[in-house]
Chain A
Amino acid sequence: MSTVPVSVEEARGLFAAELSESEAAASPRGGFLPADVAALKVRWLGKKQGVVTALLARLKEVPKEEKAAFGAGVNALKQEVEARLDALEAEAAARAASLAEAAKAVDVTLPPRVPPVGRLHPLTVVRRRIEASFRGLGYEVADGPEIETDWYNFESLNFPPDHPARDAVDTFFVEGRRDGARRASPPDAHVAGPDADDGEPQAPIRVLCPGRVYRKDDIDPRHSPVFHQMEGLVVDEGITFAHLRGTLAAFAKSFFGGRAEVRLAPTFFPFVEPGVDCAVSCTFCEKGCRICSFSGWIEIMGAGMVHPNVLANAGIDPERYTGFAFGMGIDRIAMLLHGIPDLRLLFENDVRFLDRTWS
């Protein structure tokens, strides 16, 4: 490479030979990198020792009559070399960039860095779905205390003292007070009761009362001393038993899907007359499944027309106003919907249970 070619033709041949030699040397690296091209540029186009410069320096040795042709030949060669090396330079720059990119590559299949994903408890999610169904029907969502007076817990709801109907709803009592921990329905009684400000009963009413309720039950897969209930109450002039049925049917369709039908059967609760057990046709199966215990029907709530004694206790004239009430276990519905096998899972807070999307 140290030789200086004597003619343009020789130089052109030398450039081609050196180029292919360098290409061969660079091929294990995948081709020219910018440094390779830079070295070629210095060797061929360097201002001081470049081959083209050296060739041009021979101009003075060329016979006078050949000078013009020689000069033109060198210039043409210079342009050829420049064009070729510029092209190679761009190619090398692109190659270098892509190699640099490749060096930053990661194993995209490694576990991702997940920001902490929070979860809502299934009881929260199911409660909200129930609330959404009834808010669509124009219900307010109300609130009440959990530690209740005996009046709101029992007497206002037509449970006389020392009546066997109280057996089914044994509650807890707070030491030193007559109060019991709330069982189902008292928030209804509060809502219906005279307003603290003006003493006026508050009919008409269309209210939904979610809440935590208590019953003196030992803990097992189906029972808990603490559970969650959704109570509803409607009181107005002209409210009928058919309205109760229509409301339960509308809820069933909204909550379980448009195919759902309701089936009502007589039962007894002291605070309603008539009392109703409400079952919904199973929308999870055609011919019976675990959710409906292979009966095609799922019992979801108790309901009934508000007992006139309960209305009177709240200061509402039962001749003028009628109403209905219903109550369902949020825990029970969550268990049904999601096939939760044990009620205790809802209170144990095992993260392996909670860490999923509920609906």
Chain B
Amino acid sequence: MKFRLEWLGQYLPGELPDLATLRRRLTDVGFIVEGTEGEGRDAVLDVELTANRPDGMNHRGLAREAACALGREFRDVPAPAPAEGPLEASSLATVTIEEPALCSRYSARIVEGVQVREASPAVQETAPAPSGMNPISSPVDATNHVLWDLGQPLHAFDLDTLAKGADGRPAIVVRRARAGETLVTLDGVERTLSPEHLVIADAEKPVALAGVMGGLHTAITPSTTRVLLESAHFSATAVRKTARLLGMHTDASHRFERGTDPATTVEGLNRVTALLVADCGGTVARGVIDVLAREIPSRVVKLRHARLVSFLGMDVPLGRCVQILSALAFGVTETAPGVLAVTVPTWRVDVEQECDLIEEVIRVVGYGALPEVLPPPFNPTWAEPILAREDRARDVLAAAGFVEACSYSFVSAEENAPFESAVSGSAPVIANALGEPFTTMRATPVIGLLRAARHNIRRGLSDLSLFEVGRSYALVEGHPVESRRAAVLLHGRRGTHWAAEALPADFYDGSGAVAALFAGFGAAAPGFRPVSVPFLASGRSAEIVAGGVVVGWVGVLAGPLAAAWDLDEAVVADVDLAAIPVPPPPSSVAMPSRFPGSDVDLTVTHPLSVGWETLDEAVRKGAPAELLRVDAKYLWRGAGVPEGFVKTTLRVAFGSPERSLGRDEINRWRDEAARRLLLVPGTAVDGIA
């Protein structure tokens, strides 16, 4: 908000304060001056006001802060009642408050015989922000002036447009709107109202949205001669509700929502009446129609000096505390040694508790005066295990050559739909989303990786190894479930080099990344089981099995889905990090064997339907303890191998921690393994009949 230095000066007797000093001191006490324009009397300060200090949103209020911050005197400018005519205001209109909880006070004055002018030159000249002003008429200008000066929002009605009550007088009624009532507001929009809206009504219909905006049909026009000026105190909640439900925000609602001074209504009324008469002439009716529906008592808050000292961790002498609070217009009485009863000014809606008073003291003393002290030593540090696990996964995957991505948790409904079966439950939908693609919380971080892949491919980078450690989201029986995932995407080639042609990433790069992740946690190698899911290519997709349960999935992205994302073949995986069975760290480690051991090869021709798991199991089952590893060395399909068959060379490693193995026993074990392989239907083993 903009403030004119000269205007502030009206409340600071003596010379105008130095602009730079004022700027620094206001910022120090919590009113951040973001910039200044001009110099000398015409200087304008742009101040950022926090939501808790509506009392600073006007020149008088900010001048009070400036006086305290600069250590100068603050002197209020009186607002005497204007010269009044003989006619009683109360004979010209009535005011009724039907909702005392929502409107504590409604003060009104009436001016007759005015001649409305287009704009008020006096107000226009002193306006702090000329560009932001939209001059309509001099009465509106006058209300704006008082708003900037005292922070009291005001409204002017054309008295002759207000419907009369049974007593023949135009009526003002503060009430809730009735369902279905309508009002065309000053901006020309017709609003349909409900009892949640607080309105000002005449005897028949709503004529204004209380504290938000007036109605068009009761507004001041060039032909208006009789004006009713409103100066009221509405409840912050009531105004906020009305404004928000209608999607409105005005200068008046901005202040009422934050809280106005219930004691300023008559003062503001007197000020605006004087301005109006000065511009437009007319006679002020006698008296203020001042309806006080509810007394808002001044708050008295206890401040214990000892508490202040222990809370701050520094001493501020009691006398200094009293001086600061008094300068800010708090009433201070010492009720016991070191205990103050502090009466809060009516405009300080933010001060409710002792800590608020402590803040008043320390912000004026300055946060820079606080000593830098560390709290006493504490217990050893510890990280939530799941967070440590997430970070371990990041390190493992980065070490395996993957680049970490970070993507939004939101995706479009369309992007999420193919993956919905990846989680149990339904996708959380954002009720107030920004629009697509931000409506749905993702079923898997893989969706973010697909978006990242598309982004990179469109920019000419198609060899990608990406991962993201993040959450997937679902609603299960209405409750949100967030699962920690490690997601991986491979696209194009890995590690290209001129010396050899690199192959595009395939299923085994995906399952390999998963295996590397498990190895990084010291977990047993996971199993891969064929699976059919809509988002993966059938025949090249697997669920990841560990400790007997499914902990994720890996595979080549289904063709149509890849095409929809503008990708070639992409290999994707998603692992539930919490489900990886991480063993405890080793507590005793055996010495590695001194004896080198031996490898033997077994070449098996077998139907394609016989999977690796079957061969592996056949070799292991009944093998001696000396069997160390079974690995696939070579696979061949084509010449020399019948259609529907594959020739697999297994490499079997034997070794003992205690001795060198003899060639004879190794050959015997190999032949035994070969015979077990032969028991698998359809197999033949080279060199074994």
| Chain A residues close to B by CB (< 8 Å) | 110-111, 113-121, 123-124, 128, 131, 135, 137-143, 145-147, 162-165, 167-168, 172-177, 179, 181, 204, 206, 210, 212, 214, 216, 218-219, 224-226, 234, 236, 238-243, 245-247, 249-250, 262-268, 270, 273-277, 305, 307-308, 322, 346-352, 354-355
CA distance A354 to B373 in the complex (A): 39
Q: Which residues of chain B are near A131, meaning CB under 8 Å?
A: 383
* A119 with B404, Cβ < 8 A, contacts A143-B386, A225-B434, A234-B375 known: yes
Q: Are B50 and A268 neighbours in the complex by a CB distance under 8 Å?
A: yes
12 contacts between A and B (CB under 8 A): A113-B499, A124-B394, A135-B381, A168-B51, A175-B430, A216-B434, A226-B408, A246-B371, A246-B373, A273-B355, A347-B408, A351-B466
B312 contact from A143, A167, A240, Cβ within 8 A:
A240
Say if the beta carbon of B359 comes within 8 Å of chain A. Answer: yes
Q: Are B403 and A140 neighbours in the complex by a CB distance under 8 Å?
A: no
Q: Are A350 and B480 neighbours in the complex by a CB distance under 8 Å?
A: no
Q: Are B257 and A242 neighbours in the complex by a CB distance under 8 Å?
A: no
CA distance A264 to B27 in the complex (A): 11
* A266 with B408, Cβ < 8 A, contacts A243-B374, A276-B367 known: no
Q: Are A245 and B363 neighbours in the complex by a CB distance under 8 Å?
A: no
CA distance A346 to B466 in the complex (A): 14
CA distance A266 to B26 in the complex (A): 10
Q: Are A245 and B371 neighbours in the complex by a CB distance under 8 Å?
A: yes
Q: Are A351 and B398 neighbours in the complex by a CB distance under 8 Å?
A: no
Please give the distance in Å from A109's CB to the nearest CB on chain B. 13
Q: Are B370 and A245 neighbours in the complex by a CB distance under 8 Å?
A: yes
Q: Are B381 and A241 neighbours in the complex by a CB distance under 8 Å?
A: no
Please give the distance in Å from B519's CB to the nearest CB on chain A. 15
Say if the beta carbon of B688 comes within 8 Å of chain A. Answer: no
A174 contact from B51, B431, B456, Cβ within 8 A:
B431
Q: Are B429 and A175 neighbours in the complex by a CB distance under 8 Å?
A: yes
Q: Are A141 and B312 neighbours in the complex by a CB distance under 8 Å?
A: no
Q: Are B381 and A138 neighbours in the complex by a CB distance under 8 Å?
A: yes
For the complex of A and B, 6 pairs with smallest distance between CB atoms? A116-B401, A240-B313, A242-B313, A266-B30, A349-B452, A118-B398
Q: Are B406 and A175 neighbours in the complex by a CB distance under 8 Å?
A: no
- Chain B's closest residue to A141 (CB) is B383
CA distance A322 to B308 in the complex (A): 12
Please give the distance in Å from B413's CB to the nearest CB on chain A. 12
Please give the distance in Å from A244's CB to the nearest CB on chain B. 8
Interface segment, one of B143-151, B417-425, B471-479, B613-621? B471-479
Please give the distance in Å from A261's CB to the nearest CB on chain B. 9
CA distance A219 to B379 in the complex (A): 41
Say if the beta carbon of B598 comes within 8 Å of chain A. Answer: no
Looking at A164, A277, A354, A355, the one whose CB has the most chain B CB atoms below 10 A away is: A164
Q: Which residues of chain B are near A143, meaning CB under 8 Å?
A: 384, 386-387
Interface residues of B in 402-419 (CB under 8 A from A): 402-410
Q: Are B241 and A305 neighbours in the complex by a CB distance under 8 Å?
A: no
* A118 with B471, Cβ < 8 A, contacts A172-B430, A243-B373 known: no
Q: Can you add 6 more A-B contacts, CB < 8 Å, to A141-B387, A266-B29?
A: A118-B402, A164-B51, A245-B372, A268-B51, A275-B359, A349-B448
Please give the distance in Å from B308's CB to the nearest CB on chain A. 10
CA distance A348 to B456 in the complex (A): 9
- Chain A's closest residue to B453 (CB) is A349
Q: Are A242 and B401 neighbours in the complex by a CB distance under 8 Å?
A: no
Q: Are B373 and A240 neighbours in the complex by a CB distance under 8 Å?
A: yes
Q: Are A116 and B494 neighbours in the complex by a CB distance under 8 Å?
A: yes
Q: Are B480 and A179 neighbours in the complex by a CB distance under 8 Å?
A: yes
Q: Which residues of chain B are near A210, meaning CB under 8 Å?
A: 387
Query: What does DSSP make chain A's interface, helix, strand, loop or mixed?
Result: mixed
Q: Are A349 and B359 neighbours in the complex by a CB distance under 8 Å?
A: no
CA distance A206 to B482 in the complex (A): 25
CA distance A346 to B471 in the complex (A): 17
Q: Which residues of chain A are near B499, meaning CB under 8 Å?
A: 113
Q: Which residues of chain A are near B478, meaning CB under 8 Å?
A: 176-177
Q: Which residues of chain A are near B153, meaning CB under 8 Å?
A: none
A243 contact from B52, B313, B430, B482, Cβ within 8 A:
B313
- Chain B's closest residue to A318 (CB) is B355
Per-position binary interface string of chain B over residues 7-25, scored 1 when its CB falls under 8 Å from any chain A CB and 0 otherwise: 0000000000000000000
Interface residues of B in 357-393 (CB under 8 A from A): 358-359, 362-363, 367-368, 370-384, 386-387, 391
Please give the distance in Å from A69's CB to the nearest CB on chain B. 64
- Chain A's closest residue to B356 (CB) is A273
Say if the beta carbon of B226 comes within 8 Å of chain A. Answer: no
Q: Which residues of chain B are near A115, meaning CB under 8 Å?
A: 401, 495
Interface segment, one of B457-465, B531-539, B628-636? B457-465
Q: Are A121 and B405 neighbours in the complex by a CB distance under 8 Å?
A: yes
Interface residues of B in 35-66 (CB under 8 A from A): 50-53
Looking at A162, A322, A346, the one whose CB has the most chain B CB atoms below 10 A away is: A162
- Chain A's closest residue to B257 (CB) is A164
Say if the beta carbon of B258 comes within 8 Å of chain A. Answer: yes
Q: Are B429 and A145 neighbours in the complex by a CB distance under 8 Å?
A: no
Q: Are A354 and B480 neighbours in the complex by a CB distance under 8 Å?
A: no
* A142 with B384, Cβ < 8 A, contacts A110-B498, A264-B368 known: yes
CA distance A176 to B52 in the complex (A): 32
* A173 with B430, Cβ < 8 A, contacts A111-B497, A243-B313, A249-B372 known: yes
Say if the beta carbon of B323 comes within 8 Å of chain A. Answer: no
Q: Are B465 and A118 neighbours in the complex by a CB distance under 8 Å?
A: yes
Q: Which residues of chain A are near B391, meaning CB under 8 Å?
A: 124, 128
Q: Are B401 and A250 neighbours in the complex by a CB distance under 8 Å?
A: no
Please give the distance in Å from B242's CB to the nearest CB on chain A. 11
CA distance A349 to B399 in the complex (A): 18
Please give the distance in Å from A313's CB to the nearest CB on chain B. 14
Looking at B310, B431, B498, the one whose CB has the most chain A CB atoms below 10 A away is: B431
CA distance A123 to B455 in the complex (A): 20
Q: Are A241 and B407 neighbours in the complex by a CB distance under 8 Å?
A: no
Per-position binary interface string of chain B over residues 309-322, scored 1 when its CB falls under 8 Å from any chain A CB and 0 otherwise: 01111100000000
Q: Are B374 and A250 neighbours in the complex by a CB distance under 8 Å?
A: yes
Q: Which residues of chain B are near A270, meaning CB under 8 Å?
A: 52
Q: Are B257 and A263 neighbours in the complex by a CB distance under 8 Å?
A: no
CA distance A243 to B311 in the complex (A): 10
Please give the distance in Å from A307's CB to the nearest CB on chain B. 7
Q: Are A239 and B375 neighbours in the complex by a CB distance under 8 Å?
A: yes
Please give the distance in Å from A68's CB to the nearest CB on chain B. 62
- Chain B's closest residue to A205 (CB) is B378
Looking at A110, A114, A264, A349, the one whose CB has the most chain B CB atoms below 10 A away is: A349
Q: Are A274 and B373 neighbours in the complex by a CB distance under 8 Å?
A: no
Q: Are A246 and B403 neighbours in the complex by a CB distance under 8 Å?
A: no
CA distance A186 to B288 in the complex (A): 49
CA distance A264 to B497 in the complex (A): 54
CA distance A352 to B458 in the complex (A): 13
Please give the distance in Å from B522's CB to the nearest CB on chain A. 19
Please give the distance in Å from A327's CB to the nearest CB on chain B. 16
Say if the beta carbon of B335 comes within 8 Å of chain A. Answer: no
- Chain B's closest residue to A241 (CB) is B312
Please give the distance in Å from A238's CB to the nearest CB on chain B. 7
* A274 with B358, Cβ < 8 A, contacts A145-B482, A179-B480 known: yes
Q: Which residues of chain B are near A216, meaning CB under 8 Å?
A: 432, 434
- Chain A's closest residue to B314 (CB) is A242
A274 contact from B310, B359, B377, B399, Cβ within 8 A:
B359
